Amino acid sequence: MRSPNPLRIRVWDVVVRMFHWSLVLSFAIAWLSANSWEDLHSWAGYAAGSLIAYMMDDQSVTTDELFAAGATFTLLAWGFAYLFLLVQALQPGCFAAAVNPGAPRTWTELMYMSFALLSSTGIGDVFPITPHARALAALEMFVGVMYLAAVVSRLIGLTLQKRHDHTGQR
């Protein structure tokens, strides 16, 4: 008969599952309600932000930390895409593209640009051309680099803390 492992940690418990599916649901509702149902869209955004704040309170590295890191990255890209949409509404013609350079950019194009900037991939067929749009794009690039540094350092720090707690060594 096998003896139970005292260091075994259940990762997919009910709370973690509820967190993951609540986060997925809030993103889906916010995405689908972007062009209508403004109240629902706002509440879904608040729910996603609250779930991320809940995740940041964790003191150990589990798969929910990794999923939340990806979800937060997506939330940042989505938020910047909305800011780009606002800049475009306030200053028409502030973004150009390889195809139809003078036309207003669609939500999909601005979301694509947001992911390219946040991830620092540099794929630039949609690009800012006015100072305000370029400043916002530069801010998103900075946020992307800082987010990566913060997530990696948090995960490493929590891993080292867990190792220290188990071994009692520094």
Kindly tell me if the per-residue pLDDT of 127 is higher than 80.
yes
List pLDDT tens digits, range 76-97.
788 888 889 889 999 999 999 9
Residue 2 inside a domain? The answer is: no
User: Residue 83 and residue 81: Cα distance in Å, rounded?
Assistant: 5
**Residue 141 within a domain:** yes
Does residue 50 lie within any of the structural domains?
yes
Domain boundary, last residue among 21, 38, 57: 57
Residue that wins the pLDDT comparison between 45 and 154:
154
Q: Are residues 113 and 96 in the same domain?
A: yes
Domain count, the chain: 2
pLDDT at 141: 92
Q: Can you give the CATH number for the domain in which 86 is found?
A: 1.10.287.70
Read off the pLDDT of residues 102-114 as tens digits, 9 standing for 90 and up.
899 998 899 999 9
How many C-beta atoms lie closer than 10 Å to residue 169's C-beta?
6
Residue of 21 and 94 predicted with greater confidence = 94
Task: Classify residue 5: in a domain, yes or no.
Answer: no
Q: Is the model's pLDDT at 119 over the cut of 80? A: yes
Same domain assignment for residues 36 and 113: no
- Answer whether residue 8 shows pLDDT above 60: no
Does 1 map to a domain? no
> pLDDT at residue 4 above 60?
no
| 81 and 139, same domain (yes or no) | yes
Instruction: Give, to the nearest 10 degrees, the angle between helix 38-56 and helix 63-90.
Output: 140
Is residue 68 domain-shared with residue 124, that is, in the same domain?
A: yes
Query: In this structure, are 73 and 48 located in the same domain?
Result: no
Same domain, 115 and 155: yes
115 domain residue, yes or no: yes
Structural domain for 37, as ranges:
11-57
Which helix (H) or strand (E) segment holds residue 93: the answer is none
Same domain, 33 and 93: no
Range with lowest mean pLDDT among 13-27, 81-95, 139-153: 13-27
Across the range 110-126, mean pLDDT stands at: 87
Which percentage of the chain shows pLDDT scores above 90?
22
Contact status, residue 96 vs residue 127, Cβ threshold 8 Å: yes
Closest C-alpha to 102, from 110, 90, 94, 113 = 94
Q: Does 24 share its domain with 99?
A: no
Residue 26 sits in the same domain as residue 105: no
C-alpha pair distances (Å), 163 with each of 44, 53, 96, 157: 37, 25, 50, 10
- Do 156 and 81 share a structural domain? yes
